[in-house]
């Protein structure tokens, strides 16, 4: 996962003298030190004025820690849209990294699951049907019989699964995903 931050020397910024540059992360630690030294100066304070990332970054974020964090998640080799969906659904970047590291998440590409279905389904109805289709509908002890599918309230099923199992719908790029960070969600 590659992000960009716009870093400036805090003293110069406060004085009204902008000297910032966009810095792509992650990069090797030694190279990052060189880049920051050119922008901020050795031992000077920085400020992050802008960023392009799927999660929030504070103005005074520790850039080395942020870089290490990104190096740590890059080993998982997820597509950018999936990582973005995970970060949008999570409460904090560190928490999401822990979930990724421990495999404590489930993600469903709603658009892929429903690509051959008829249009006109509401969001929550579509989400309930998608979770049922991929086997995450744990509200029933047995799979729903095919002849009963038309009579099911999938909107209500999704509402129950979102409350009970923490499913959240997020959009990343042009794709809709359903994400949960609970391990107790099991396929039927």
Residue 99's alpha-carbon distances to 33, 42, 80, 112, in angstroms, are 29, 36, 16, 23
pLDDT > 90: what percent of the chain?
A: 48
Tell me the pLDDT band of 187, cut-offs 50, 70 and 90: very low
State whether CATH 1.10.540.10 applies to domain 3-75: no
pTM of the model as a whole: 0.73
Question: What are the pLDDT digits (tens) for 85-131?
Answer: 998 898 888 888 888 888 899 999 999 999 988 777 778 999 999 99
Domains in the chain: boundaries: 3-75, 100-180
Tell me the pLDDT band of 30, cut-offs 50, 70 and 90: very high
Place of tokens 């509908």: 137
pLDDT at 183 over 70: no
Residue 111's alpha-carbon distances to 13, 21, 57, 130, 138, in angstroms, are 45, 38, 29, 9, 21
pLDDT at 78 over 90: no
Instruction: Measure the CA angle with vertex 153, ends 169 and 180; round to 5°.
Output: 25
16 phi and psi, to 5 degrees?
90, 10
Mean pLDDT of all residues belonging to the chain: 87
């Amino acid at each position: 996962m590659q992000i960009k931050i716009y870093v400036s020397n805090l003293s110069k910024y406060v004085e009204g003298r902008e000297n910032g540059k966009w810095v792509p992360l992650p990069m090797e630690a030694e190279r990052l030190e060189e880049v920051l030294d050119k922008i901020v100066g050795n031992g000077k304070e920085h400020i992050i004025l802008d960023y392009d990332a799927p999660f929030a970054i504070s103005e005074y974020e520790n850039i080395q820690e942020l870089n290490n964090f990104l190096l740590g998640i890059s080993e998982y080799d997820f597509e950018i849209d999936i990582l973005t969906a995970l970060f949008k659904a999570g409460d904090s970047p560190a928490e999401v990294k822990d979930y990724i590291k421990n495999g404590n998440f489930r993600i469903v590409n709603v658009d892929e699951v429903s690509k051959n279905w008829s249009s006109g389904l509401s969001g929550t109805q579509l989400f309930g049907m998608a979770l049922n289709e991929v086997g995450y509908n744990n509200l029933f002890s047995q799979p729903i019989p095919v002849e009963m599918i038309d009579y099911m309230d999938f909107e209500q099923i999704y509402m129950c699964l979102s409350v009970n199992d923490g499913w959240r719908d997020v959009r990343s790029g042009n794709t809709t995903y359903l994400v949960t960070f609970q391990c107790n969600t099991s396929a039927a």
